[in-house]
Structure 1
Amino acid sequence: MTSTTMPPALDAAAVVESIADLVSENYVFPDVARQLAALLRSRSTGGAYAAGSAEELAEAVTADLRTVNGDLHLALKYHAVPVPPNRGEAALAAMRREFDASMGGVPRVELLDGGVAVLEIAPKMFPLDWAAQPLAAALSLVAPARALILDLRRNTGGDPDTVAFICGYLLDSRTHLNTLVSRQGEVAEQFWTPPFVPGARFGADKPVYVLTSAHTFSAAEELSYDLQQLGRAVIVGEATRGGAHPRDGWTVHPHLELSVPVARAENPVSGTNWEGTGVRPDAPCAADAALDHALTLALERLA
């Protein structure tokens, strides 16, 4: 007879109290953090979270976390399988499987009519130490094209260093792209294009179009926004989801993981970011029509 270790029963009040503490201590906007902590405690005292499963608690708490400013990186995530002690290693292994299944995050490179290349980057901006080689190969391959279409419609985010690496192929000189500002209002990190990229650059002069959808999120939004603010690309498709804040995570129950943004992005051109609004397309259209529309725009410009 074998025995299994059962996860502890869900003590919703204790879990919500720990979430309130973490949000209060870590969320990038201290005033909003205090409002959210007070809201969670008030709702918990009123019995809003008393009955239900861990999955239902995740849904209810996530909804409440987003009531003040709609931050989509604020979330209580439910995991059907208990989060292992080595959660970081397990998540990294799952991401690696995605990487391997998507040709290193570059599932499509194709030459279209009129010398226009399309390069899809999906499903994520994978960590640069993985993604540099396939991205360098793909970006070098499209370098001779007359125009470039970057397809980010299925990209849900990832590594800002990978964003900077990609931008390095589309610009000719070292360029400041983004600054992360901490909860205390201090510069936490800056992102610039690298001084050198392996292979051939597409360069700063030929047309670039970026395809977006309502699913485009986080680091994929940053790539779109950076290029748009620099006047380097035309954004074609739908407004993106609107998540600009880098996040940290905490396991607050074996089945529950809290996601809290700990900094904010500040673009050096606009002085702000795409949080809440999404990246607004220059040429709006349905996501499934964006490739054809971008190709038409590119051919018209080249003509």
Structure 2
Amino acid sequence: MTTTPVKLGPTRVIDETARLLTEHYVFPEIAEQLAGLLRRRLTEGAYDVDDAEEFARLVTQDLQSVNSDRHLSLKYHADAVPPKQGAAVLESMRRDFDTSLGGVPRVELLDGGVAVLELAPMLFPLEWAAEALSAALTLASRAQALIVDLRSNRGGDPDTVAFVCSHLLDKRTHLNTMYWRDGERSEQSWSLPHVPGARFGGSKPLYVLSSGTTFSAAEELAYDLQQLGRAVVVGERTRGGAHPREGWTVHPHVEASIPTGRAINPVSGTNWEGVGVQPDIPCAAADSLDRAHALALAQLAG
């Protein structure tokens, strides 16, 4: 483990994290509880460590102790990150983007005309990923059935979720609504009326693979398609993070990740926060591809 001293001092980092919580966290009452908890734990000496990574882990443990919000955390970054809001995550994402073929590491045709499209490790910002996604989805559009593999996807951009869904539906569809902390603003997410390239469309068999590490925007993609009755989810229950988040640098190596809104699905009237996306066909993630392929073949034969 690389040891990085908490140069700002734990008091300064905790004070700034508590301020950000009370100003931005989607649930104001819980924000006040958490701010008080962090300050009390600081006074007790719970954060008296010299290693930034361990410090972030301890604080995250306390941040998630009240309502188990997995998007609420202090994130440690081995490389120093700039102070601009959101810069820490964007830099990390860019490195992943450059080494994953733009977030589409696998497009494969299996027996029986069933295609597999793996989206990993993230659903990157659309301004980065649109070209790679469009190419892969257009190629997969010729398949008789499609399996979208999200087992190793840890989240990303809601606009990218809508872009992928647009290729898998026939018409413009309401996917999700984000409600923000102030209670006065909401933002609807819809599939696009037009897409570059060809659509796979809304009638051919579609399966989505999930695992216990599938998270955030990847969960939204699975959940939206499942709630619309468009896809069958095969695999494991996902991690359960439905709150959009923002990031603030509170130390050269530590970023405060704070949810600023909550997602509400127009079909279910709720979301997957804390419970995950429940698979339609539960099985071990390692077995889910074979299971989905067999299901697709049977559906095509029928």
Q: TM-score range by the shorter chain?
A: over 0.9
2:213 is the alignment partner of 1:215 = yes
1:5-16 matched pairs, under 5 angstroms: 9-16=7-14
Question: Could you tell me how far apart the structure 2 residues matched to 1:24 and 1:124 are?
Answer: 29
Contact between 2:83 and 2:248, CA under 8 Å: does it hold in 1?
Answer: no
Please list every run of 5 or more consecutive structure 2 residues that lacks an aligned counterpart in the other structure: none
- The match for 1:131 is 129
- The match for 2:265 is 267
TM-score, L = length of structure 2:
0.93
CA distances 1:98-152 after superposition (whole Å, capped 9, x unpaired): 2232222111111111111111111111111221122112111121211110001
By how many angstroms is 1:90 displaced? 6.7
Secondary structure of 1:184's counterpart equals coil
1:1-303 matched pairs, under 5 angstroms: 9-85=7-83, 91-303=89-301
1:286–1:302 Cα change, 3 Å: same
Contact between 1:7 and 1:254, CA under 8 Å: does it hold in 2?
Answer: no
CA distances 1:52-89 after superposition (whole Å, capped 9, x unpaired): 43222211110000001101111111223332345756
By how many angstroms is 1:227 displaced? 0.2
Q: CA RMSD in A?
A: 1.9
Secondary structure of 2:223's counterpart equals helix
Question: Could you tell me how far apart the structure 2 residues matched to 1:262 and 1:40 are?
Answer: 19
Please list every run of 5 or more consecutive structure 1 residues that lacks an aligned counterpart in the other structure: 1-5
1:53–1:93 Cα change, 3 Å: closer
- The match for 1:3 is none
CA distances 1:143-175 after superposition (whole Å, capped 9, x unpaired): 121111000111111111111011111111100
By how many angstroms is 1:197 displaced? 0.7
CA distances 1:161-195 after superposition (whole Å, capped 9, x unpaired): 11101111111110000111011223332110011
1:250–1:144 Cα change, 3 Å: same
User: What is the one-letter code of the residue matched to 1:295?
Assistant: H
Contact between 1:10 and 1:53, CA under 8 Å: does it hold in 2?
Answer: no
The number of residues matched between the two structures is 298
User: What is the one-letter code of the residue matched to 1:148?
Assistant: L
Secondary structure of 2:101's counterpart equals coil
1:90–1:247 Cα change, 3 Å: closer
Question: Could you tell me how far apart the structure 2 residues matched to 1:98 and 1:190 are?
Answer: 28
Contact between 2:74 and 2:256, CA under 8 Å: does it hold in 1?
Answer: yes
Question: Could you tell me how far apart the structure 2 residues matched to 1:83 and 1:108 are?
Answer: 31
1:97–1:16 Cα change, 3 Å: closer
Secondary structure of 2:102's counterpart equals coil
Question: Could you tell me how far apart the structure 2 residues matched to 1:7 and 1:75 are?
Answer: 19
Higher mean Cα deviation, 283-292 or 125-134?
125-134
